[in-house]
Amino acid sequence: MEDRKDAFGHALLDYYHGKEAQIVIERDDGNLDVSAEPEIYFQEYGEWKEYEQKAMKPARGRVLDLGSGAGRHSLYLQSLGHDVLALDNSPLAIEVVRSRGVQNSVVLPATQVSSKLGVFDTIIMMGNNFGLVGNRRRARWLFRRFHSITSGEAKIIATSLDPHTTDDPLHLAYHQRNRQKGRLVGEVRIRVRYRNYIGSWFDYLLASREEMEELFDDTGWQVRNVITSDEPVYAAIIEKV
């Protein structure tokens, strides 16, 4: 990734060094979502939402943290004695991860995960990072790949946001456009902006529990448990069939 496109990484790095930072998510229909400061990416375990804390309990063995951000989940699991590999496509995010003490990390997009990274017992996709699968077709392709690089009793722990809970006219119009194109309503195309840094466009998927379960059909995985919250977000524990 070119430095000028690493908007997310620059925001994390600035915040890590004590500077004010705000991440903007731009959707391809022009909608802008201005987030709060990147504080959430640096939270300690005690500050996490309850559903996130519960979601970490089934993690076992060697762990792959997909879309690790500033490494909060990697650091927690590493503190429990797990062998964790933090993975993010942002070079500066990985710089932050390493500075914070994560022992193993790699700059790589989720789509390039392969057997070269070794075998994992747990794959985590936290912070709504189930969305990294992008769309229906890519999701099934990725899950089959994950199946080939994991142990026999491996688990995927993923969080997502149910897009159907909104009543915002802008989001509902976007959903309708997706339906007309034969897509899941939660398929979005977005990019990250921070100061004068603008990331590349990428596909991201928000899925309901039912949609997530359908995406695992014929992939060798199955949703075994769902941890709900008082928000439209949830965690899913996925196991090999």
Asked if residue 207 is part of any domain, the answer here is: yes
DSSP 200: P
Asked if residue 128 is part of any domain, the answer here is: yes
Q: Does position 221 have pLDDT exceeding 90, yes or no?
A: yes
Strand bridging mode 105-107 / 83-88? parallel
Q: How many domains is the chain built from? A: 1
The pLDDT-based confidence of 161 (bands split at 50, 70, 90) is: very high
Q: Does position 197 have pLDDT exceeding 80, yes or no?
A: yes
For 93-109, how does the pLDDT look when each residue is reduced to its tens digit (9 = 90+)? Answer: 999 999 999 999 999 99
For 53-64, how does the pLDDT look when each residue is reduced to its tens digit (9 = 90+)? Answer: 999 999 999 999
pLDDT of residue 141: 95
Q: What is the CATH number of the domain that holds 138?
A: 3.40.50.150
pLDDT of residue 175: 98
Residue type, 82: H
Asked if residue 25 is part of any domain, the answer here is: no
Dist. CA 56–CA 69, nearest whole Å: 17
Q: Does position 36 have pLDDT exceeding 80, yes or no?
A: no
Domain that holds residue 222: 45-184+202-240
On average, the pLDDT of the chain sits at 96
Phi and psi at 123, nearest 5°, equal -115, 125
Asked if residue 35 is part of any domain, the answer here is: no
Asked if residue 22 is part of any domain, the answer here is: no
Asked if residue 8 is part of any domain, the answer here is: no
The pTM assigned to this predicted structure is 0.95
